[in-house]
Structure 1
Amino acid sequence: MLREALNLRDAIDGYFNKWMELDCAGDELSSEDWIILEKIKSFLKKLKMTTKALESSFATLDNVLLAMDFVLAQFEAGKEAYIDDPIMAPMYNSGWAKLDKYYRLTDESPAYVAAIVLHPSHKWHYIQESWKKEWVESSKKLMETLWNDYKPVESPLPLCEVPSTTTNEFLNWRNKHLQPSLVTDEYERYCNSERVYGFTSALAWWLEETQQKNYPNLSKMAVDILSIPAMSAEPERLFSGAKITITDRRNRLGSDVVEALECLKSWFGIRELQGDVL
């Protein structure tokens, strides 16, 4: 609406000039009002672009906190730029307070942090570079708690017995190297490895056979987390599509059949699953 009003500014001003003496007198927009509307439109455009990016079919949970960080930075920049503006300052302050409220609610679930960490191009780099130290520490505790739900219970491997009577230095050296190496934690091994780039999506990367073998338990956790959409827009679209499936002549379809049909329709539209998977 703001965009259309600004595009039709000349027509709107002309209307008020022509009918100034009627009931609309006093409702006309001044030059200062038009400037304010332009500022508001410029800011809302950034919010719109962020929203559009997150409501797409392939936006997953790893984008949520990044998007909130981006929007929060826009609010903070606006608060500083219009600190003395009697009209714009309250808008930015109210918007920042509302976003901060919902940002704090993400602390109640480790899934948001896990989605970023399990993105092979981010891992802990983004959080450590962008967040305060105390936030990083609390996030790592949340991540460890979540990983413990997937982490396998490991039993210690029996050590090779080395004869205590041997005096052969070669046999002592050989037996020492026959000792099994300590089993490394999948999550720690993943975090300590180099970040990865050049893939279609984080979820597709975790579904690759290499990751399934190298991180059998962590990959399950990653698939569970990265399968969550960033917004409910796509699930709502799929839900609405069920009315096409359930017609008057299909009124005896059970809920399980309808669910299976909608899942198949959705999966056939996913590029990453084309080919041998389907």
Structure 2
Amino acid sequence: MSKPDGLQHIKCFISKQIHFYLLLARFTHCICVSGHALDYCDVIDNFVAKNRELRSLELSTADWDAIALVTKWLKSFRSATTQMSTTKCSMLSSTHAIFRGLQEDIRNSLAELPDGAPVKLKTSLMKAHRKLSDYYTKLDESLYYIWSSLLDPRISYQGLLADCGDDISLKSHLELAKERLTAHINELEEFWKLPQEDFENCDPVQWWAGRRAQFPGLSRYARDIFSIPGSAVAVERIFSGGRDTISLRRASLQPETIRTLMLVKQQLRLTQSAIQEI
């Protein structure tokens, strides 16, 4: 098996996930707006009642109840956005869990939907579930998502099998990913015998870096796989920082100078964060 090309697959993952992240960002914006509207619903109703031009836009009790339901649903998307935005540790192996969690929340919301709820709400939930399913199936197009889960010390192999349940497709993808790692099957089996690490306190990158002698082959794969970002957030931040560095008055900077400035800025940011955590 050839060694994964980290840079090439970073580009691949960014192109696939940027649309999903933008989708979550829109949901996050909606929850902020609807949340503020609910906080000031009485004020809004009074204002509309005093203005004839706005009477046609007056919201009924059922409308406010619908807004409250939607706001409740969107909290799951805001939580997913927060998880997808993290850059302090590798989260590629968490992508599957985030998608599955969102889908389960939507299914539960559909099951708990009141009988008198507007048809549009039910239709919207079904469309949201369908859209997430479309994105979720894209994860199966690359084995790197599954490899990241297989090599994550916080995730057990038996747990992955249990998550697959009776889904034959998921099990086949899991077995295929496992077969592609057979070049280091001895290391893989030894790795799976180790106790599962705590999800909150374990950094997979640091964990594998400390076990290079024990797992010389797998540690190289893990290094490349866990260096792939789970979303486009980190890259977008770099571009935003680049815009600040390459201003109109500094448009003639050489590429090497820009690279040095960006690296220095990032190092200063990391140092500042480390000092604040002390």
TM-score when scaled to structure 2? Answer: 0.75
Q: Tell me the alpha carbon deviations over residues 65-89 of structure 1, each in whole angstroms, 9 at most, x when there is no partner.
A: 1111110110111122228542321
Asked if the contact 1:16–1:28 (Cα under 8 Å) also holds between the matched residues in 2, the reply is yes
List per-residue Cα deviations over 1:214-238 (Å, max 9, x = no partner).
1111111111111122211122112
Looking at structure 1, the residues matched to 92 and 39 of structure 2 have their Cα atoms a distance apart, in angstroms, of: 36
Structure 2 CA distance for partners of 1:115 and 1:270, relative to 1, 3 Å? farther
Question: What is the one-letter code of the residue matched to 2:35?
Answer: R
Unmatched 5+ residue regions in structure 2?
1-32
Classify 1:15/1:115 alpha carbon distance in 2 versus 1 (closer, same or farther; 3 Å). Answer: same
Q: After TM superposition, give the deviation of residue 137 of structure 1 in Å.
A: 3.4
Contact between 2:49 and 2:55, CA under 8 Å: does it hold in 1?
no
Q: Would you say 1:18 and 2:50 are equivalent positions? A: yes
| Residue matched to 1:40 | 70
**Residue deviations 1:105-144 (CA, integer Å, cap 9, x gap):** 1100011111122110103233222222422232121243
Alpha-carbon distance in 2 for matches of 1:2, 1:249: 41
Q: Does residue 147 of structure 2 align to residue 114 of structure 1?
A: yes
How many angstroms does 1:250 deviate by?
5.1
- Is 1:99 the counterpart of 2:132 in the alignment? yes
- Distance change in 2, residues 1:61/1:266 (3 Å): farther
Q: Which among 108, 111, 136 is matched to residue 77 of structure 1?
A: 108
- Cα distance in 2 for partners of 1:188, 1:260 equals 43
Shift of 1:37: 0.2
- After superposition, the Cα gap between the structure-2 partners of 1:202 and 1:12, relative to the gap in structure 1 and judged at 3 Å, is same
| Alignment partner of 1:138 out of 164, 170, 173 | 173
Identify which range, 220-229 or 95-104, moves more after superposition. 220-229
What is the TM-score with the length of structure 1 in the denominator? Answer: 0.75
- Structure 2 CA distance for partners of 1:270 and 1:38, relative to 1, 3 Å: same
Give a deviation string over 1:146-172, Cα, whole Å, max 9, x none.
x36xx47xxxxxxxxxxxxxxxxxxxx
| Greater C-alpha Rg | 1
Return the structure number with greater helix share: 2
User: Do structure 1's residue 219 and structure 2's residue 219 form an aligned pair?
Assistant: yes
Partners of 2:224 and 2:54 in 1: how far apart?
Answer: 57
Deviates more, 1:123-132 or 1:224-233: 123-132
Contact 2:92 2:148 in 1 (8 A): yes
- Summarize the alignment of residues 158-169 of structure 1 with structure 2, pairs less than 5 Å apart: none
Q: 2:41 and 2:137 mapped to 1: Cα distance?
A: 40
Aligned to 2:259: 259
Q: Which residue in the other structure is 2:187 paired with?
A: 186
**Which runs of 5 or more residues in structure 1 are unaligned?**
153-183
Q: Which piece of structure 1 moves more, 216-225 or 198-207? A: 198-207
Number of equivalenced pairs: 235
Contact 1:199–1:205 (Cα < 8 Å) also in 2: no
Please say which of residues 98-107 and 116-125 is displaced more in the overlay.
116-125
Is this contact kept in 1: 2:154–2:202, CA < 8 A?
no
Map of 1:171 onto structure 2: none
Counterpart secondary structure, 1:121: coil
Residue pair 1:119, 1:202 contacting (<8 A) in 2 also: yes
Judge conservation of contact 2:204–2:226 (CA < 8 Å) in 1.
yes
How far apart are the structure 2 equivalents of 1:261 and 1:125?
A: 46
Report the equivalent of 2:29: none
SS in 1 for 2:57: coil
Summarize deviations over 1:13-57 as a string: whole Å, max 9, x none: 0012212xx232221000010000000001101210221122022
